């Protein structure tokens, strides 16, 4: 018969394993990544993860059972959000561990970026300096609701779907740097490709708001267009 000490240890590790079991599906990790950007309805999550609403609901139920995600009924929709900011920190730590330990992550990413001609990025440390010096204009090309949930101070909200028709609004005389959800989000890649096609100097930031916050840098919340006046340099701070 197992000793009390062994029963205690077995019980504790069984609880820890609940988290591992909950995230042991690629789509559930993608849902956590999306929820790091802000709350979403089940329908919106399903669309952005390219799965059915029924499948999204099932995955979210697993995440809720592990207390990683919470849900709230709002009218005819159910809105989901991360249970705590620590859940997003955990996801980022898992992502970074995978990047460091799994060569396949680098191979798949490198092949995709090379094919798209998108290997060149602005690193965060360089970006902080250049933004503070007024050398670049940041474009947040995520959907506006994600911008409102949290964005890099001074960034202009120009969702990817609106970028082409809003080119005339963009400040001139400084390089544009586009960012989206993070290193595996393709919206900033598409934004830079469009801007360069139109003759506008642009690069992309390899990280997103979640990574920015993880570096200890400030993230703002607020409506699109409320970050700063056009042409006024941003001042990111720690």
Of the candidates 36, 80, 88, 180, the residue annotated as catalytic is 180
d(CA 88, CA 84): 8
180 labelled catalytic: yes
User: Which of helix, strand or coil describes residue 49?
Assistant: coil
Max Cα-Cα span within the chain = 76
d(CA 83, CA 89): 12
Residue 86's nearest CA partner among 157, 155, 32 is: 32
CA angle 141, 180, 169 (to 5 degrees): 20
Residues noted as catalytic: 180
């Amino acid at each position: 018969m197992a000793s009390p000490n062994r029963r205690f240890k077995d019980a504790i590790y069984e609880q820890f394993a609940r988290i591992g079991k909950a995230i042991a599906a690629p789509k559930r990790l993608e849902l956590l990544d999306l929820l790091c950007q802000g709350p979403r309805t089940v329908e919106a999550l399903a669309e952005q993860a390219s799965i059915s609403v029924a499948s999204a609901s099932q995955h979210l139920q697993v995440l809720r059972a592990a207390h990683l995600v919470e849900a709230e009924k709002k009218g005819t929709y159910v809105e989901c959000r991360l249970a705590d900011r620590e859940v997003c920190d955990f996801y980022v730590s898992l992502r970074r561990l995978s990047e460091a330990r799994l060569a396949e992550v680098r191979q798949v990413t490198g092949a995709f970026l090379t094919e798209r001609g998108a290997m060149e990025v602005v690193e965060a440390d360089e970006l902080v300096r250049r933004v503070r010096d007024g050398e670049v204009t940041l474009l947040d090309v995520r959907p506006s609701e994600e911008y409102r949930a949290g964005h890099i101070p001074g960034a202009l909200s120009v969702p990817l779907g609106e970028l082409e028709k809003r080119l005339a609004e963009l400040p001139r005389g400084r390089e544009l740097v586009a960012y989206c959800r993070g290193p595996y989000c393709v919206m900033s890649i598409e934004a830079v490709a469009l801007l360069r096609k139109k003759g506008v100097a642009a690069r992309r930031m390899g990280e997103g708001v979640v990574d920015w916050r993880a570096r200890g840098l400030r993230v703002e919340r607020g409506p699109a267009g409320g970050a700063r006046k056009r042409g006024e340099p941003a001042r990111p701070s720690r």
